[in-house]
């Protein structure tokens, strides 16, 4: 079985959700609007950078591309969790992200682009026991020979540096790039927190990468030995689309279907 950062993270956050999503392969139609906005932003960046081989898209054209993606892909299962927010609020938020990013990096010629949405395969110890896959948003080569691994984040919180220094995903991609291009020597991991127009960057030592390999191998062993996949309630449940299948949340979905009188006095709070 091949793993990914998302699979590992989902398991760590809630083993039951991991089972429902990746082992039972249940695919709920619901999608959080934050994830939807994130997809539209990522696709727009991919278009902007892939066009660079030929030309620089104008800001208006880039925003129009984002708008066309939004309209084409929007569906009635896109859910808003934040009370009082509208679809238009999120649409305009994405436009602002694009405008800020565009103005910050125009004319986008700082580096040479080596890959967009680049698929990476990671064989942790080179013996095919622990295989992982991932897609890096963008890989750059800087004028001084550094490989930069870029990741776009549309999150509404700017994490502390310690979070970037402990991040698994881009460090894993560094391992994948080293396997794909053994000539690559120096790396920088960069997160674009577009809601704040801020970059956060980090690097990894060989010892940290060895430690990462060991931690991932340990986690995969644990996942493969798990027979229970317990549900693990947390703040992330608000955005989970598996309530109907979850032993901790199923009853709330059932209550939502009852007429108001029957619900009265039975709900303990915390509904979506």
Task: List residues binding ligand SF4 (CB under 6 A).
Answer: 14, 16-17, 231-233, 236-237, 240, 242-243, 246, 248-249
3-state SS, one letter per residue, for 30-80: CEEHHHHHHHHHHHHHHHHHHHCCCCCCCHHHHHHHHHHHHHHHCCCCEEC
CA distance 133 to 168: 13
Query: Which residues, at least 6 apart from 237, have a Cβ–Cβ distance to it below 8 Å?
Result: 14, 243, 246, 248, 249
Which residue's CB is nearer to ligand SF4, number 172 or number 240? Answer: 240
**Nearest distance, CB of residue 10 and ligand SF4, angstroms:** 9
Q: Which two tokens stand for residue 185?
A: 């020597």
Which residue's CB is nearer to ligand SF4, number 101 or number 242? Answer: 242
Which residue's CB is nearer to ligand SF4, number 107 or number 235? Answer: 235
**Nearest distance, CB of residue 37 and ligand SF4, angstroms:** 21
**Nearest distance, CB of residue 199 and ligand SF4, angstroms:** 31
CA distance 172 to 17: 23
Which residue's CB is nearer to ligand SF4, number 171 or number 240? Answer: 240
Which residue's CB is nearer to ligand SF4, number 137 or number 252? Answer: 252
**Nearest distance, CB of residue 24 and ligand SF4, angstroms:** 11
3-class DSSP state for residue 117?
strand
**Nearest distance, CB of residue 233 and ligand SF4, angstroms:** 5
Task: Of 269, 1, 259, 263, give the one whose Cα is nearest residue 130.
Answer: 1
Axis crossing angle, helix 59-73 with helix 33-51, rounded to the nearest 10: 140
**Nearest distance, CB of residue 247 and ligand SF4, angstroms:** 7
Which residue's CB is nearer to ligand SF4, number 206 or number 247? Answer: 247
Q: If residue 240 lies in a helix (H) or strand (E), which one and from where to where?
A: none
């Amino acid at each position: 079985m091949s793993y990914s950062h998302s699979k590992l993270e989902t398991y760590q956050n809630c083993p039951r959700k991991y089972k429902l999503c990746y082992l039972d392969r249940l695919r709920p139609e619901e999608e959080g609007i934050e994830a939807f906005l994130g997809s539209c932003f990522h696709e727009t960046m991919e278009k902007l950078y892939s066009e660079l081989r030929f030309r620089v898209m104008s800001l208006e054209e880039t925003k129009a591309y984002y708008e066309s993606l939004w309209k084409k892909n929007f569906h009635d299962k896109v859910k808003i969790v934040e009370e009082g927010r509208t679809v238009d609020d999120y649409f305009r938020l994405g436009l602002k992200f694009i405008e800020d990013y565009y103005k910050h990096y125009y004319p986008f010629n700082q580096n040479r682009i080596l890959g967009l949405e680049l698929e990476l395969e990671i064989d942790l110890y080179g013996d095919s026991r622990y295989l992982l896959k991932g897609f890096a948003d963008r890989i750059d080569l800087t004028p001084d020979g550094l490989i930069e691994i870029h990741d776009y984040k549309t999150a509404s919180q700017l994490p502390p540096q310690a979070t970037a220094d402990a991040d698994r995903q881009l460090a894993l991609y560094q391992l994948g790039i080293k396997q794909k291009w053994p000539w690559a020597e120096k790396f920088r991991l960069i997160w674009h927190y577009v809601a704040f127009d801020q970059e956060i960057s980090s690097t990894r030592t060989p010892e940290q990468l060895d430690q990462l390999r060991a931690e991932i191998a340990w986690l995969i062993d644990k996942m493969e030995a798990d027979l229970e996949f317990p549900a693990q309630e947390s703040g992330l449940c608000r955005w989970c689309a598996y309530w109907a299948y979850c032993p901790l949340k199923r009853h709330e979905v059932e209550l939502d279907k009852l007429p108001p009188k029957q619900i009265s006095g039975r709900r303990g709070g915390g509904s979506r």
